[in-house]
Structure 1
Amino acid sequence: MFQDPSYSDAPILEPGEVTQPALSRIANGPKVHDCIHELQQVMKPFDAMTVGEVPSVYKPEDMLPYVHPDRQEINMAFEYALCTLDYTAGARHIARKWDLSDVRRVVGSWQKGMYELGGWNAIYLENHDQPRSVSRWTDDSERYRYDGPKMLALFETTLSGTIFVYQGQEIGMVNIPKDWTMEDYLDTATIDTVNMILSSSRSPLLKREMLDNALARARDNSRTPMQWNDQTNGGFSGAKPWMRAIPDHPKCNVEYQLADPDSVLSFWTEAISVRKQNKALIYGDYDDLLPDHPDILAYKRSYQESAFVVVLNWSKNVVQIPDGLIRSSGGIDMRRNNLFSFVAGLSIVATRTVLGAPTSDQLVLDSKTPRPLVIWHGLGDTALSEGISSFIENIKTVHPGIFVHSVQIPQGGSLDDERRAGFWGNAEDQGWAGCEQIENIPELQGGFDAMGFSQGGLFLRFYAQYCNNPPIKNLITFGTPHFGISALIPCPTPPTLTCLLAARAARSGIYTSYAQSHIVQAAYFRDTERLDEFYAVNTFVRDLNGEKGLGGDSNDKSQSHTQTISLDTFDDDDNEAILRVREEVRRRREDKKGRNGSGQGVGGLQNFVAVMFDSDRTVSPAQSSQFSTYSPLNKSEIIPMQDQPMYRQDWIGLRALDEKGGLVLEHCPGEHMDLGGAGGCGDRIVKDWVGWPG
């Protein structure tokens, strides 16, 4: 508006060319603000929202005169800093190299700048003058065809401001195919630019490069017919439109994507819905979390008590999220299967997708309902004891609406039955009973988190490795002897008769068939000075850790011995029909345990949080809670998890889980099962790892 009275020439951006890009001479003239202010006074009585297009403005402070409320001009305006990153403004055929640091710089400056200066952003990635964002910022080849638009949707819907979605962007429409000819292009600016390049004196190689740049950024890319269905012209019209439809319209269309819950359109729908429900994504502060990462754009959005962490992989590579990024930012760690584009919030997981991973595995945005939790108590406790009940109430206070199930063995038994089962019984039979109990709870069918106290953590790992349907998402264990114990867990003070009798029986022969099949502690007693005996007769913690098959010929004998033990645990009459049923049960269980005994391992977990009590004098060694053991040669020496054959050779998937960031080794400072009271490590872990949306 209003030409500069001096009519001065534009700066020389293309030496030797007759014409030059001249945006600086045709935009943001000296009287533009007077004109806009006058227009706004006309619009004001209608309570209309106004948005402007302000080219040649690349800094928030330069935009402020247009959009600050005190100016009474326009409510918001489209900035040009991001949409011109890959070319020279006004000269689309002059490419500009860009990388993620440029995107980070522009986004950060506008997100923080407009907020601090009192303005408001207009968020967009496409319009009628820009190419399709999928082709521009991501790889639109078939391999990443529908991952790129989801990543960009997540990017746009998690920025502060008002979102503008251009027609076709919501289904992931792409640029004109490269095999189309110049006859398919209608925009006069593109045609003039191409003719200028062809008539220039540049080398053929440079001409080809400039033509490619011009056509990749041509305005015609975003002006093809909107693709409504798989019919002629994408369903836009039965008549011949001004341009033909993009060839991929049989699948990339509204009708097709409305019926597909994993489509780009469904993704956009959910993302916008979640955004509308969470003010942090609209009004929240913006903090860059990885300012120097070449592939990941990570930022935190926080508003009052709500916070979200957004992690976007802009590369075509599978990349590793730096350790501690999510948790140190106050969010939630969701690092499973190398899927790195997601929002993890304190109260909701909005979405997760990936750009560049070998496969796409989207987790659709869910409601705010916390994911259910299963608790398995420890030795000598009961499912609804005073301590467990108090802990559950605390969890429900932190995560309102959460469903919690506390495992009871035997189900429906008395308190005395439960306490006795903690000491006496066949550990494997109790594990299978827990599987059956959990599998039949309707509220858990979509998956759940699990928290095990002391030996209860072994039973939950048993479930994760041999059953896991419905699946455990996050497994948290407190002081659990994952690699067994080398000394019996002492009885409480004063001791119960049940505990004293179990301890006496165990000491009389921990590796006898009776102890292994009737005393729960014996099932995870792993004396490093008696490993041959352990490998020969133990079938519980040995198999959980993938150690089945160790110990030479003696282990072959243990297989028939194990069968005898499992059959002897039944009290039914020994008739032929019952024996066949028992044998079938045993066979199915052995099939689930697999060749090395570890079943499916821990690879099905999203996260495995193993908590060690630093002053633990109950579990021996305390480091067993994090898969470390005494050395067979010297009990004063601890062999750490990373040096264990089961970790190095990855017998149960622990190493793989660790390498993708899913194994978390936490510490509590007190003695065994000392959770620290209010504000202690127990509360912290509950806040960090429990209550993610279901």
Structure 2
Amino acid sequence: MKWWFGFLLMLKYVSAEPTPIVLWHGMGDTCCLAYSLGLFKLFLEKQIPGVYVVSLKIGNSTVEDLENGYFMHPNKQVEYVCETLAQDPNLQNGFNGIGFSQGSQFLRAVVQRCGHKLGPIKNLITLGGQHQGVYGLPHCFALQHETCDYVRKLLNYAAYYSWVQNSLVQATYWHDPLDEKKYAKNSEFLADINNELQINQTYIDNLIKLEHFVMVKFESDSIVQPRETEWFGFYAPGQAKDLITLQQSAIYKKDRLGLKKMDEAGKLVFLSQPGDHLRFSEDWFIDTIIKPYLL
């Protein structure tokens, strides 16, 4: 009788449909192009037969999707995605989330702000995310030349002006360590989802429901400054030279997001890759991400 019961459990496991996956691309990228996340979607479908994959498109076309990555306020993007995911019947039993670059903190915001309204979000995997924001923008991916220089200047000198916060996505996760109070008061996205000014208990409750929060840092990242933000670290307050880890930060020590509880429960996973921003091999992703967290 015992062996029969065990066989039934094994059969149920083998025949169960794989958990769906939601992807959110980064700055200068789009959901569906064949050389970008469209190709990555096909890769996941090949490695996990039968998996349902949603690569989020913010807007009605890939052109709009690309533009919205620079100019549509993250709060509006997150609200749009929350509604989109809630209406998808294929996600009602839950899903795993994978965020690329700025899509990492945006997808985390989805977990925190509307996770309780969605099917259970099992694992959140962030690749090169900017969880404590950025202070510096050395490269802008698709936006090279004059536009990129203009973006840099705006962020360096006017990131916290309300019109910049409302018109330039990257300003909403610009984190000036030289003036933490100004950042916390004027950041219209990142300071909120990191519970900098006030504690939103819903954000904590939704985040700690995750089975794992996996953060991947790229050791030679030339896009994100500082790289430690990809592991939720940042500059020590008041200067822009010395770096502190997540565990040394106020967010962790005061447990503003429940990250300390998650860390103690083994739910935080810190992984690294030696290459530049979002550079990883298929074999690495299969062995390090797919097998332990997506199957």
**Does residue 9 of structure 2 align to residue 274 of structure 1?**
yes
Q: How big is the shift at 1:367?
A: 3.7
Q: Is the partner of 2:205 in helix, strand or coil?
A: coil
1:484 and 2:87 aligned: no
The number of aligned residues is: 292
Give the counterpart of 1:506 among 128, 137, 155. Answer: 155
Equivalent-residue separation in structure 1 for 2:94 and 2:202 (angstroms): 24
After TM superposition, give the deviation of residue 623 of structure 1 in Å.
0.7
Which residue of structure 2 aligns with residue 415 of structure 1? Answer: 62
- Is 1:613 the counterpart of 2:262? The answer is no
2:21 to 367, 373, 396: 373
Contact 1:466 1:599 in 2 (8 A): no
Deviation at residue 504 of structure 1 after TM alignment: 4.3
Is residue 276 of structure 2 the alignment partner of residue 629 of structure 1?
A: no
Cα offset, 1:392, TM superposition? 1.3
Contact 2:160–2:183 at 8 Å: present in 1 too?
yes
2:91 matched to which residue of 1? 444
Question: 1:417-476 CA deviation, whole Å, 9 max, x = no partner?
Answer: 111111112111111111111111111100000000000011110011010112210000
1:309-355 deviations in Å (ceiling 9; x for gaps): xxxxxxxxxxxxxxxxxxxxxxxxxxxxxxxxxxxxxxx8x5xxxxx
Alignment of 1:75-114 (within 5 A): none
> Are the aligned partners of 1:601 and 1:653 in contact in 2 as well (CA < 8 Å)?
no
| Rounded Cα–Cα distance in structure 1 between residues aligned with 2:233 and 2:217 | 11
Partner in structure 2 of residue 685 of structure 1:
288
Counterpart of 2:255 in structure 1 is: 650
Shift of 1:501: 4.8
SS in structure 1 of the partner of residue 207 of structure 2: coil
Q: TM-score, normalised by structure 1?
A: 0.40
Cα separation, 2, equivalents of 1:607 and 1:514: 37
Contact 1:488/1:521 (8 A) holds in 2: no
Q: Distance in 2 between matches of 1:634 and 1:541?
A: 19
Q: Deviations over 1:23-45 (max 9, x none)?
A: xxxxxxxxxxxxxxxxxxxxxxx
User: Does the CA contact (< 8 Å) of 1:464 and 1:604 recur in 2?
Assistant: no
State the 1:503 CA deviation.
3.8
Shift of the 630–439 alpha-carbon distance from structure 1 to 2, 3 Å rule, reads same
CA contact (8 A) 1:423 1:502 kept: no
CA RMSD of aligned residues (A): 2.3
Q: 1:460 aligns with which of 107, 110, 118?
A: 107
Higher helix share: 2
- Cα deviations by residue, 1:371-428 (Å, 9 ceiling, x for unpaired): 0000000001111022211111111121111000011112xx2222111111112111
- Cα deviation 1:279-331 (Å, max 9, x = unaligned): xxxxxxxxxxxxxxxxxxxxxxxxxxxxxxxxxxxxxxxxxxxxxxxxxxxxx
Residues 666 and 449 of structure 1: CA distance in aligned 2, closer, same or farther (over 3 Å): same
Specify the SS of the correspondent of 1:419: helix
CA apart distance, 1:527: 1.2
Q: Does 1:532 align with 2:186?
A: no
Per-residue CA deviation, residues 234-277 of structure 1 (Å, 9 max, x unaligned), is xxxxxxxxxxxxxxxxxxxxxxxxxxxxxxxxxx5xx43133x4
The structure-2 alpha-carbon separation of the partners of 1:482 and 1:442, relative to structure 1 and needing over 3 Å to count, comes to same
**Paired position in structure 1 for 2:54:** 405
Deviations 1:95-137 (A, max 9, x none): xxxxxxxxxxxxxxxxxxxxxxxxxxxxx8xxxxxxxxxxxxx
Partner of 1:658, secondary structure, is helix
Q: 2:75 aligns with which of 410, 428, 441?
A: 428
Deviation, 1:531, is 1.3
- Tell me, in whole angstroms, the C-alpha distance in 1 between the residues paired with 2:245 and 2:127: 18
Deviation at 1:690, TM superposition (A): 4.4
- Change in 2 beyond 3 A, CA 1:528/1:470: same
1:370 deviates by: 0.9
Please, which runs of 5 or more residues in structure 1 have no aligned partner? 1-123, 125-156, 158-162, 165-267, 278-347, 351-365, 550-593
Q: How does 1:535-614 map to 2 (within 5 A)?
A: 535-549=184-198, 595=200, 598=203, 600-614=205-219
Aligned AA (1:408):
K
CA pair 466-678 structure 1, distance change in 2 beyond 3 A: closer
Deviation, structure 1 residue 597: 8.3
Distance 1:597 1:471, change over 3 A: closer
State the match for 1:233 in structure 2. none
Work out the CA distance in 2 between the residues paired with 1:498 and 1:415.
Answer: 20
Q: Is the 8 A contact 1:466 1:600 kept in 2?
A: no
The 5 A counterparts of 1:278-297 are none
Tell me: CA distance 1:441–1:508, structure 2 relative to 1, closer, same or farther (3 Å). same
CA distance in structure 2 between the partners assigned to 1:596 and 1:678 by the alignment? 38
Helix, strand or coil at the partner of 1:451: strand
Check 1:496–1:598 CA distance in 2 against 1; reply closer, same or farther (3 A cut).
farther
Letter in 1 for 2:276: E
Give the distance between the partners of 1:619 and 1:526, measured in 2 at CA.
12
- Which residue in the other structure is 1:116 paired with? none
The answer as to whether partners of 1:423 and 1:499 remain within 8 angstroms in 2 is no
Q: Secondary structure in 2 aligned to 1:664?
A: strand
Quote the Cα distance in structure 2 between the aligned partners of 1:667 and 1:660.
Answer: 21
SS of structure 2 residue aligned to 1:600: helix
Distance 1:622 1:684 in 2: 23
Is the 2:138–2:222 Cα contact (8 Å) retained in structure 1? no
Q: 3-state SS of the aligned residue for 1:467?
A: helix
Q: 2:276 aligned to 658, 664, 671, which one?
A: 671
Per the TM alignment, residue 617 of structure 1 is displaced from its structure 2 partner at its CA by 2.1
Which residue of structure 2 lines up, in the alignment, with residue 293 of structure 1?
none
Is contact 1:548-1:596 (8 Å) kept? no
In the alignment, the residues of structure 1 paired with residue 290 and residue 77 of structure 2 have an alpha-carbon distance, to the nearest angstrom, of 30
Identical residues among aligned pairs (%): 30
Aligned partners of 2:17 and 2:51 also within 8 Å: yes
Is the counterpart of residue 471 in structure 1 residue 120 in structure 2?
Answer: yes
